[in-house]
Every structure is written in C-alpha cells, then in structure tokens.
Structure 1
Amino acid sequence: MTLKTTLIDVTTLAALPPDEVLIVDCRVDLADRTQGERSYLAGHLPGAVFADLAQDLSDLSRIPEGLGRHPLPSVAAFSAVLGRWGWKPGLQVVSYDAGPVALAAARLWWLLRLAGVQEVAVLDGGLAAWQAAGQPLETGSRPRAATKVALAYDARQVIVDHAALHAEPSSVLLDARAAVRYRGEVEPLDRAAGHVPGARNRPYSDNLLADGHFKSPAQLREEFTAVLGDTAPDQVVHMCGSGVTACYNLLAMEHAGLHGSRLYAPSWSGWVSDPARPVAKD
C-alpha cells in the first residue's frame, strides 16, 4: 500500500484492510462538547476510534497561560492518547470529521506531523462523502489493543511564544478565520474582534469545491500564491481562532505541494488574552 500523507478518498480508504489503518473519528460540536462522542457511538466508520478535541487534541488546563482556547497537549499526553488507540510506527492513520470541512481531523493530522508521524491523511469529504458513497457504518465502540508510544514534538513546526511572531521579518502570518471575523466586523468567541497587525486572510472554507471536496493541488497552489506572493512556504505561519481551523490551511498547502509552513498555536484567542497587544481592523 502506498501510504497517504495529506488526503485520502473514500474508495481508497474502503479498500484498506482493517489491520493496515487506524481510523479516527474527530467530530466535534463546539457548542456541545459531548455531541461528538454521542454521534460517534450512534454511527461511525467501521473500526474507528474517537478523538475528543478538548481532551485528546488539546490541554484545556493551560488556557489561563494565554495559550488560546485549545492549547496543545503535552507530548506525553498525546503519546498516551496514541497508545490508547493502539497506534504503532508505520501504521497509516486516517482522520475524519462530519464533512465536508475537516477541522478537528486536520488538527489531529497536524499534531501527528508535529510528532514526526508522516503516515497520516484526512478523509476528503469526511463522513458525508463516506455515506454518500453507500459505505457502511457501525455503532458502539470497539477498543483496540493498547500500545506504548513515546514521541517528541518538532519545535521548529510551531510557534507558541507571542513575541516570536514578529521575530522573523520575512515571515507572513496567514489567518484562516472567516473574512468578517478577520476584519473585526463580528467576533462570536473571543475577547476582541480584529486580527494581528500585518496578518493576511485566507478563510479555510476557500479550500473546498462546491461538492465539499478539496480543490485540486494546482488550484490550491494558485490561490495560495495569490495571497502569499513570492513568500516561501516555510516562511508562512498559520493562525485562526484557537489553532484548529488553521491546520486546515496548513493541510491544504501541503496538499498543494507548498511544504514547510508552520502553526501559531495560540492563535487569535491567545493573542487577545493580553489587552496590551495591538489589534487591527480593516
């Protein structure tokens, strides 16, 4: 099997033997933290385990530190989650959301990349595409045999310190939030409306075609280049509201062959945790 590292389609995933893939259901409802797991138990891809955005892909105990609404889990905690799921080196991982947008699924994809795991892909179109293709679901939960996992994060791929954002004059900060939030017209979640001065906007929803699947690598490359100009991909730093949807833009750039961009993990919620930091509106 050729391992997938960005996206995987329904047909390819359905053909994989169960022992050659770890499927992770990442559905989340930010208004109801228990809805994702309830949806998972009611029906999910066969063999899938469930990832809770708040408990497995974040460390909410660190919010008072100004690290945003979804601070990164420690590498030890994330390793323990992978061990609970039965992950082992070389095993293909596939994450999915309800679809068509893959938000927490992209977050898991990025966390695994941060931990040095390359064999991870997001299901293009998510659960919606799986069901549209007539593929089966199963209910309940079937725990996998646990493994021992000890990984390490690559600090070069992430920025956590707010002051480090402008330490590299050639870098470009790319905000994945909707344009109305970026411009400061509305702010439904965080303390203040607007954006980090100098940031550019690329709404994460712009990565999709009308049918809910990702645009082609060529189209994505053209569109990102229009926003970024001649900025090298490794000089791009992604952000959003809390470091989740930004991973969707990072995934899109990787799928387009624009490799090496990074994440500003605290994102807007972390930036505005200090009222002294400047806010731009336009």
Structure 2
Amino acid sequence: MKLWQKTTLTLAVGLAMTACDNQTVTTIDTAELLKNLDNPEYVIIDSRHDSLYNGFKSPNAIRGGHIMGAIQFSTTWLDNISADRFEAFAADKGISKDKTLVFYDDNLDDLERISAEFAAKGYKVRVFNEFINYANVESNPLQIFPNYAWSVSPQWLNAVMNGEKAESFNNDPSNLMVFEVSWGPLEKANSYAQHIAGAYHFDTDWVENAPVWNLSDPALIEQNLIKNGIDKDKTVVLYSDNQLAALRIFWALKWAGVQDVRYLNGGLYMWKDLGYPTETKVNIPQPVAAFGATIPQNPQYTISMPQQAIDEMKKYQLKLVSIRSWDEYTGKVSGYDYIPGKGEPQGAIWGFAGTDSSNVADYYDPDGTLRNPYEIFNLWQGQGIRRGDHLAFYCGTGWRAGVPWFITQLTGWTNTVIYDGGWNAWQMDSVFPVQKGAPNNISKPNPKNDFGKLHKAGASCKS
C-alpha cells in the first residue's frame, strides 16, 4: 500500500483482533477512553499523518485535530526506524511496555498494522476504532493548532490541483501556484529536474543576497515576485528537497504580504509515493501587473541586524535562540567555508538543530515530515524557552531558523521572529560580544529523536 494512502475507516474492528499468532489487541470504546484521558497509565497515540493531527478533518468528520493529550506515532514511520532503535525511540516519546497504549486512526489498514507492530514487540495495545464518531460529538475534547492550514499534505494539494473542494482553500483555482524551492537559476536547479506536474521553480536569490544573505531590498523582492507571477492574493504552495529552503521562502513571503502561503509537508518524496503526477518540463510563470500591497506587510516577523537584536534583548528580554549544530554553538566550527568566525552571540540559547549547517535533523520525523510541535516544546523547556517568551531564532544565514519559527506560528505562539543576520552578520564586526564553548560547561542536551539510519523491514505479521 502506498504511504499515506488513506481509506475511510468504515469497517468496525471486532472486539478483539489477532496481531500475530499469540498477540491479542483489544478495543476500547468512547466511554472508557474518556475516563482514561488523564490516566497516567494510558498513552493515547494518533497514528495518522501530520495534517490530520494538526487540525484538518478526517473523511466524514465534522471536526479536525487530535484527541486531547494524544501523542503522535505515524504508521508511515515504521518503514524508517531501525530495529535496534525502535524501543528507545518509542521510550523517548513516552511509550513503554508498562503502559497501556491506545492507538486510533481513520484508516483500517494503518490502524491494524501499527497496533500489530507494537503488540508483536510486547507492548500492551488497544485500539480505538470510533474516532470519526468521537470527532462528530462536540462535547468530546479535540485539540487543533490555530494555523494548522499552513502545513498541507500531498492529498490536499492533489485535490486542489484537480479542482476538488479542499478544506481551507477558498481561492480561485487559477490563483494557485506551486513552487519547488532551491538556490540558483533554472539551469542550476537540480531538484527541479523532476517536479510536481505544473510546479514552477523558485530561486531563493529572488529574496536574499550576499554577503550577509539577509532579505533583499523590498523593491527588488517586489520586482522578482511580480516577474514570477506572485501577488498578495495568490495561494502559494512551497516544497523543497531540503526542507529549509521552502520554509525560508514561506517566512519571506509572509513577511512580504502574500496572504495564503502553504508548506507541503513531506514534499516530492511523499507526493511520488502516492503516485501523483510529476514531470520534467520547465514551467515559466506569467508575470502579474502588481504585487497589490506595500512590501513588507509584516515587518514584525524579522530582526535584521545585530544591533537591533541587542536593543530588543535589553528592552523586551528577547531570547536569542541558536538553531545551529552543537559544534557550531560551542565554537568548534563556524559551519561555513565563507564564515571565518567561530562562536555565538553572547547570551544565545541552544534551541536544537542537526548534524551540520545543512539540516535541522532534530526537527524531523523518520519519514522526513516535521516533528510534532509538542515534542519540540518539551525539549525547549529544558533550555528555558517557553511559550510567551520573546524569541528570535537564528542560524548562520537564516535558512535553519525558519523551521522553529514556522512551528511556533503554526501553533499560535506570538512574539517569535527570525533574526535574519544570524551568526554571519554578528561575526563581521568585533564590537558585538561573542560566547565560545558550552555555557556553564553543560553537556549537549538529548534531542530524543534517534531512529537510526537503516531501513526497517518490520517485526510484525502486518509489516
């Protein structure tokens, strides 16, 4: 079965189903589930893909989102977790063999597979097969993220491109534009060689420039957007091989004033896995007459240069949050061949990142989608980063900082911005104070996201 290929859960799972020869998975009904929502011995687990957990409605449901307090463990991850990492990876999410696990999904095949997988490994497993009915009763608690519609699934995009009615899409279909995002003009855009059918290429140089790689002059950005068919009223869907590029441009377009920007979570990989159409021909967008608003419409989304960051640290207790690898944060490496300085702005807090300047692996799930926001927020609490704080995310030149900014905005946090100049601008002038080494000699915090590197064949009879 293709990943993410969802069929509505119309068949009831029996009172008990056999996971393998001697593993039994029992059902739980709504009344019993509600009684145990706050039971610390129960772990409620949503095995659907991100967009449904975040807030989109399952088929035949009148409300979207996830059951209150539910964690996430998507069935699609099972093919991407190494066998020797599985139990430790699950434990980092609060899943252990002394707890009762309750899985729910809107897809019968996925629900059966993931429950069987865990049962085969010795976990105590139950399934809740009444989720659609649960969602259709207003008094049953569900949680959604305020800006859930910013992150969309391949199924959503495919429906919109085929002219079907899709939740949260209220624009004229002719105003939809899909962009593959990467650095460089078309002749250098290797990731555009095969792309979503109908998609255009977005060169990140349209909005940023050397040597600092900050946002360009608003007039130049406006000129580039107009030339490439983007005005404030377009619905722009972005994806990229490296998630950083799409989320960098997402932030830039929201800053500029495009009202409806979406991020395709899972990108081309998930799109192709579902069998949706791709092509190799080059698509050239038609220019528009005007952007339709003064750029920027949302200047509050950015701090441009170091002095502004320092001023806001003093005035608003702004916290600078580094989204750089641990070796960059502690001053062992600069992270870039064109940035000579090593270290961090004085007072910077480490906000987790990845292995080097090319990724933020701590923020990704095993299938390459964005990690559950609650997991990120739990990590941040250990770093003294909390909802309500004034936060400025930064990295070397801005790309990595877009990921945590997007997650905070998706979930309705306020007072979060990107410090665009990043370490690059800071290290250019010796007047700005620098810290080197781990503050107070702390050890690197555990990102709790080690799923290994090997493809997992599966231990249960359903794999």
TM normalised by structure 1 equals: 0.85
In structure 2, stretches of 5+ residues that fail to align are 1-55, 58-146, 162-172, 354-359, 439-463
Residue aligning to 2:189: 37
Matched, 1:263 2:418: yes
Instruction: Find 1:253's aligned residue among 403, 408, 422.
Output: 408
Alpha-carbon distance in 2 for matches of 1:10, 1:227? 34
Give the deviation of 1:249 after TM superposition. Answer: 1.6
CA separation of 1:5/1:187 partners in 2, compared to 1, >3 Å: closer, same or farther?
A: same
Matched, 1:206 2:206: no
SS in 2 for 1:51: strand
Residue aligning to 2:197: 46
Decide whether the 8 Å contact of 1:4 with 1:92 is kept in 2: no
Structure that is richer in strand per residue: 2
SS in 1 for 2:278: coil
Alpha-carbon distance in 2 for matches of 1:5, 1:74? 29
Matched, 1:85 2:225: no
Q: CA RMSD in A?
A: 2.5
CA separation of 1:27/1:133 partners in 2, compared to 1, >3 Å: closer, same or farther?
A: farther
Residue aligning to 1:160: 304
Matched, 1:223 2:379: yes
Segments ≥4 residues shifted beyond 6 Å:
1-4
Match for 1:181: what amino acid?
E
1:24-80: CA deviation from partner (whole Å, max 9, x where unpaired): 111348xxx87752431x211122121112x212123xx2xxxx2x12112122122
Alpha-carbon distance in 2 for matches of 1:243, 1:175? 11
Instruction: Find 1:192's aligned residue among 338, 341, 349.
Output: 341
In structure 1, stretches of 5+ residues that fail to align are none
Percent identical among aligned pairs is 24
Alpha-carbon distance in 2 for matches of 1:220, 1:19? 37
Match for 1:108: what amino acid?
I
SS in 2 for 1:16: helix
1:72-105: CA deviation from partner (whole Å, max 9, x where unpaired): 112122122221222233321111111xx41111
Match for 2:263: what amino acid?
V
Alpha-carbon distance in 1 for matches of 2:188, 2:377? 32
SS in 1 for 2:243: coil
Give the deviation of 1:19 after TM superposition. Answer: 2.5
SS in 2 for 1:113: helix
Decide whether the 8 Å contact of 2:175 with 2:233 is kept in 1: no
Residue aligning to 1:124: 265
Residue aligning to 1:177: 324
TM normalised by structure 2 equals: 0.53
Alpha-carbon distance in 2 for matches of 1:261, 1:198? 17
CA separation of 1:23/1:228 partners in 2, compared to 1, >3 Å: closer, same or farther?
A: farther
How many residues in Structure 1 have an aligned counterpart in Structure 2? 267
Larger radius of gyration: 2
SS in 2 for 1:15: helix
Decide whether the 8 Å contact of 1:105 with 1:122 is kept in 2: yes
SS in 1 for 2:237: strand
Alpha-carbon distance in 2 for matches of 1:232, 1:35? 44
CA separation of 1:34/1:199 partners in 2, compared to 1, >3 Å: closer, same or farther?
A: farther
Decide whether the 8 Å contact of 1:6 with 1:122 is kept in 2: yes
Matched, 1:244 2:395: no
Residue aligning to 1:75: 218
SS in 2 for 1:122: strand
CA separation of 1:120/1:4 partners in 2, compared to 1, >3 Å: closer, same or farther?
A: farther
Structure with more contact order per residue of length (Cα contacts < 8 Å, sep ≥ 6): 1
